[in-house]
Structures are given as C-alpha cells and as structure tokens.
Amino acid sequence: MSSSIITARLRTSFTKSARNKIRESGGVIANLYGKNTAPQSLFLDANAVKAVMNTGRGVIRITVEGDRSYSVIMKQIEHYTLHPNRIMHIDFHSVDLDEYIEAEVPILLNGLEQVGKAGGIFLQRTHEINIRALPAQMPELLLVDISEMKAGDQLYGQDLALPPGCNLREAADMVIVAVVGRT
C-alpha cells in the first residue's frame, strides 16, 4: 500500500451552516477514529483527498493542524448522489502499522474475453474477500486471471494468489468464480 500525507483541521462548529461553508469552500468533512485514538471531527481539502485517491487508497498519514500525525486507512467514502465525482464525507480508521488488520479487498477478474470465446459464461460469486495483513501489506485489490478456465471450472478462496504476509479470513472452499457452459 502507498503512503500519502494529508493535512486536516479540526471542526469546531457542527451546525448545518458551518458544514455547508466547509463544503462550498472545497472542503470534505471527515471523522477520524481508531482503537487508541479519540474520535475527531475534521475537514480536509477536497483536492488533496482526490490526489491521494488517484495514487491509491493505502495507508495515509493525516496531520491534524500540524499538531499530531496519524496513520490511517479510508474506511468509508460517501459521494453526492447527483455528483458522484464529489466526495461528501470520509471515515478514517487510525491503524498501528505493527498490528494486523482485516479488510474487505475487491476482486477484479482478468481474462473474461477468453472465457467467452471458449463458450463459457462466468459467474462471479464473490466480489470482495476478507483479508488479514499488516496495514502496509494490505493489497488495494486482487487481480484474478480466469483466462484458462473452462466450462465446469470453479475458483475457490484457497486458489487465490495472495501477496506475501496476507491471510485469507474466509472459508477456503468458498467459490469465487464459476464457469458454466452455454445452453
């Protein structure tokens, strides 16, 4: 996972008008929480958040008003319904870089065209998988190649090639992808 730095400021007013002013001035409202961290309400520059998201959503360093720095991961991102490219709210979870964490990691399939050409139809049963790893070793996604799969083949959790230091937290016999023949 990558490591980027964002500067944040503490929110002191929690009224609707204060929230709207932050958003109108190009800010994003955020919460910071964690096991050894007191919950904090923050706001960040939207452009800084987008820049970090474009480089990957790994471990991020947040400096709160130049006072304290935290290693965090983005736990939840809320977008505007009518403006899906604009971020409304982010929840950051403070992590200890030496402690294992669990996270849902998206699974992306590669080789769909080859499966279709061979007369198969793929059924992706699982789109995310729970993995346990140190924050710096947590993958942002798992890219799974299914180009060699044929009708009747199944890919199980135990068949996934996880990066070093990562452990599968799901059942090893859980079906990730199944390929069926056309009828």
Please give the pLDDT value at position 132.
95
Would you identify the CATH topology of the domain 101-181?
Answer: RNA Polymerase Alpha Subunit; Chain A, domain 2 (2.170.120)
CA distance 151 to 178: 8
Indicate the pLDDT class of residue 29, thresholds 50, 70 and 90: very high
CA distances (Å), origin 21, targets 24, 127, 145, 156:
5, 37, 47, 49
The fold adopted by the segment(s) 3-94 is Ribosomal Protein L25; Chain P (2.40.240)
Q: What is the reported pLDDT for 2?
A: 46
Q: Which residues of 45-60 are buried (b: 16+ CB within 10 A; e: fewer)?
A: bbebbeebeeeebbbb
Mean pLDDT of the region 167-181: 91
Tell me the pLDDT band of 56, cut-offs 50, 70 and 90: low
For 113-140, the pLDDT digits (tens) are 888 888 888 899 999 999 999 998 988 8
Token representation of residue 19: 């929230």
> What is the rounded distance in angstroms from the CA atom of residue 112 to the CA atom of residue 124?
11
Categorize the per-residue pLDDT at 86 as very low, low, confident or very high, splitting at 50, 70 and 90. Answer: confident
Report pLDDT for 165: 92
Mean pLDDT of 34-62: 86
Give the C-alpha separation, 79 to 108, whole Å.
Answer: 22
Question: Could you tell me the residue ranges of all domains in the chain?
Answer: 3-94, 101-181
Surface-to-core class of residue 74, CB atoms within 10 Å of its CB (0-12 exposed, 13-18 middle, 19+ buried): middle
